[in-house]
Amino acid sequence: MRFRPRQRLRTGVEFDAVFKRGTRLGGRLFLLVAAPNRGRRDRLGLAVSRRVGGSVERNRARRLLRESFRRLGPPTGPGVDLVVVARAEIVGCGQAEVDRELQERVRRIRRAAPLVGASPSPAP
């Protein structure tokens, strides 16, 4: 299955919006930044810098992360924009390990969903 344009963040403005209003969850393999979106589907943006390694390693990291995102399945609630900032440790990992970490991070984000992007209540 292809990674469709509607499933990904494509512009700098979209990435900036997630970084500005998103919730961050760090991990050994990557940093996950998540913010609610207005749709019913999750979207993924990847940030894989040269710190991860050469082009072969960076492309492998992207493939691992896209496949893990695909395996998450459809969202059960409102859509979330996810930006994954890969760390160098991801290069030596297998698909199962990346799947586990992404699933755990997304599960934690969804548990905190009422807090993500919530506006403060008006003062009395």
Residue 120 included in any domain:
no
Residue 86 included in any domain:
yes
Residue 117 included in any domain:
no
Domain span at residue 21 reads 5-111
Residue 105 included in any domain:
yes
DSSP single-letter state for residue 8 = B
SS3 84: strand
Residue 40 included in any domain:
yes
Residue 99 included in any domain:
yes
pLDDT score of 14 more than 60: yes
Residues 6+ apart with CB under 8 A from 71: 99
What is the CATH number for 51?
3.30.230.10
Residue 16 included in any domain:
yes
Residue 98 included in any domain:
yes
Looking only at the bridges linking them, the beta strands covering 80-86 and 43-47 are parallel
pLDDT tens by residue, 83-94:
999 999 999 999
Domain count, the chain: 1
What DSSP letter does each residue of 13-81 carry, written as one string? HHHHHHHHH-EEEE-SSEEEEEEE-SSSS-EEEEE--GGG-SHHHHHHHHHHHHHHHHHH-S-SSS-EE
Residues 6+ apart with CB under 8 A from 101: 27, 28, 29, 30
pTM: 0.84
pLDDT tens by residue, 41-76:
889 999 999 999 999 999 999 999 999 999 987 777
